[in-house]
Amino acid sequence: MISPNELKTGMTIMWNGAIHQIVEFQHVKPGKGHAFVRTRLKSLKTGQVVENIFKAKENIEQAIVERHIVQYLYKDATNLVFMDNNTYDQIEVPVSSAEHLLLYLKENEEVTAVMYEGTVIDVTLPYTVELEVVSAPPGVRGDTAQGGSKPVEVETGATVVVPLFINEGDVIKIDTRSGEYLTRA
């Protein structure tokens, strides 16, 4: 157990029965009354960000999480299967909890698995991925009514808006947080 005065950005705590990461915190000592800590917490399970105030006298349970680099192997009927690069153990994550990964995840891609007490609670993609364009309509010269861009399909099935000069077979870099085209690879 730790006191609210020991909270730091990036620390993980157990709060309301779920693991949360501290995104932001501020120690407040008003002129009257007791000191408190105002925090913004991100649920590692749902990704939801909430605000909470901890009184100075409260005790908070710190959750020790481990981050492992894992390699995506394949998808079966109900799970995504990853391999821990250090121990070579296979880790299964239900497709329902990691569906958002499938847009930018291809086989043999390395991702980060966040584990708590031996269970995977979150899988995060790298900030950028390189994917091949498998379907692209031709860019018509002078067609700039939509700002000179067109939608294309990449090898994972995701649709990305790219400039007109991108063709089928090109490899492009995509920002996984926003789904935006960055550059040609």
Least confident among 98-102, 106-110, 129-133, 150-154: 98-102
Q: Identify the CATH class of 66-124.
A: mainly beta
> What is the overall mean pLDDT for the chain?
85
**128-184 is classed in which CATH architecture?**
Beta Barrel (2.40)
**Which amino acid is present at 180?**
E
> Which pTM value belongs to this model?
0.70
Fold designation for 4-62: SH3 type barrels. (2.30.30)
**Span 39-69, pLDDT tens digits:** 899 887 777 888 988 888 888 888 888 888 9
Q: Which two tokens stand for residue 58?
A: 């409260």
> Does 66-124 match 4-62 at the fold level?
no
Pick the closest to residue 164 from 136, 183, 123 (CA basis): 136
